[in-house]
Amino acid sequence: MISLRKFIFHHHNNFLISKEEIYSFFTIIELVVKIIRYHVSLGNTSNFFQKKNTKNIHGENQITLDIIANNNFKDILKTCSNIAGIVSEEEKKIITFQEQEKYGKYIFFIDPVDGSSNADINIPIGTIFSIYPRVSPIGISISEQDFLQPGNQQIMSGYILYGPATILVFTIKSGVHIFTYHPSYETFILSQKNVKFPDTGNIYSINEGNYNSFPKGIKKYLQYCKNQYDQNPISSRYVGSLVADFHRSLLKGGIYLYPNTQSYMYGKLRLMYECNPIAYLAEEASGKATNGDIRILDIIPKFIHQCSPFFSGTASMVEMVKKFILDSQSDSIKN
């Protein structure tokens, strides 16, 4: 049995960040995860799933758990001298902490509770995180530029999936590893090392209720999937929690799609704390992630809560979607 601590100290060899620093981040993450996990396990007997009258920056109703998880992350990250600043889905502005903004070496992005609208019906939800090195010199206060880095600068990203088991999936630039929370030991235990997407996939995951407002290329791709029925059937599966839908694709082979729609002109998912961390994991597991045009990790962000169309999963499936998008764009130029 290999604990998270043992794994990091024995296997980690990414020199951009020390083993001690990685372990301190995981200690923080684990503490908040225990709180979220506890409330998830109480189901509807916990009053943390109630809708609040407050909305986040994206205009979505928050539940108590969104706010509690966010506050816990903030409180505990404040005590971590390495963190210069954080961005959270639940906070309009960048958060910095006095001395740390001058001397902290890292920038932290967090989606405290992803898929929270699923929480009150006992459907898996997640937490997504991502860490960058600061770009401004140590000793001066960090600025927006430290946060507006493309995803290819991430040094660590991951998610926690609160399902029947609570699992942690992460990368530190040396493969993707899966750990499972063991309640008796009160820590994460290694369950799969160096996970890769299967070479082929036959599951697509999209909110097809939005079909009428999808771009032409996506409609054609979905039609193509359905037309495979006789030779190579492709199944449709959609939980509505990014972490759960991506995790299924990672283990079974498949693709997650959230294109731009009429309601979400630039896509619904948020580049900095949803798309980038998942894209980094996808690529480290030999998968792909694109906005339909370029690699997600190469997008230069303009603002911290920016959204993006998102297609990620098995490499060949992502390439196929991209082809449908590009073909339909060149068709419309010709016509």
Least separation in angstroms between CB 13 and ligand AHM? 32
Among positions 205-234, residues that touch ligand AHM (CB under 6 A) are: 207
CA distance 104 to 204: 41
251, two tokens: 């283990």
Q: How far is CA 259 from CA 80, 240, 278, 310, in A?
A: 37, 14, 16, 6
Residues with Cβ within 8 Å of 180's Cβ and at least 6 positions away in sequence, in order, are: 165, 166, 167, 168, 188, 189, 191
Least separation in angstroms between CB 102 and ligand AHM? 31
Segment near ligand AHM (CB under 6 A); pick from 71-79, 113-121, 160-168, 283-291 = 113-121
163 is an interface residue for ligand AHM by CB under 6 A:
no
Among positions 275-314, residues that touch ligand AHM (CB under 6 A) are: none
Beta bridge partners of 235: 203
Segment near ligand AHM (CB under 6 A); pick from 91-99, 108-116, 131-139, 287-295 = 108-116
CA distance 219 to 217: 5
Residues with Cβ within 8 Å of 56's Cβ and at least 6 positions away in sequence, in order, are: 62, 66, 89, 90
Please identify which residue in the block is written with the tokens 């079974």.
252
Q: Is 21 marked as binding a ligand?
A: no
Q: How far is CA 219 from CA 213, 260, 319, in A?
A: 9, 12, 16
Q: Is 65 marked as binding a ligand?
A: no
Nearer to ligand AHM, 26 or 159 (CB): 159
Segment near Mg ion (CB under 5 A); pick from 111-119, 148-156, 222-230, 249-257 = 111-119
241 is an interface residue for ligand AHM by CB under 6 A:
yes
Q: Is 115 marked as binding a ligand?
A: yes
Q: Which residues are annotated as a binding site?
A: 89, 111, 113-117, 207, 238, 256-258, 268, 274
Binding site for Mg ion (CB under 5 A): 111, 114
Binding site for ligand AHM (CB under 6 A): 60, 89, 111, 114-116, 207, 240-242, 268
Q: Which residues are annotated as a binding site for substrate?
A: 114-117, 207, 238, 256-258, 268
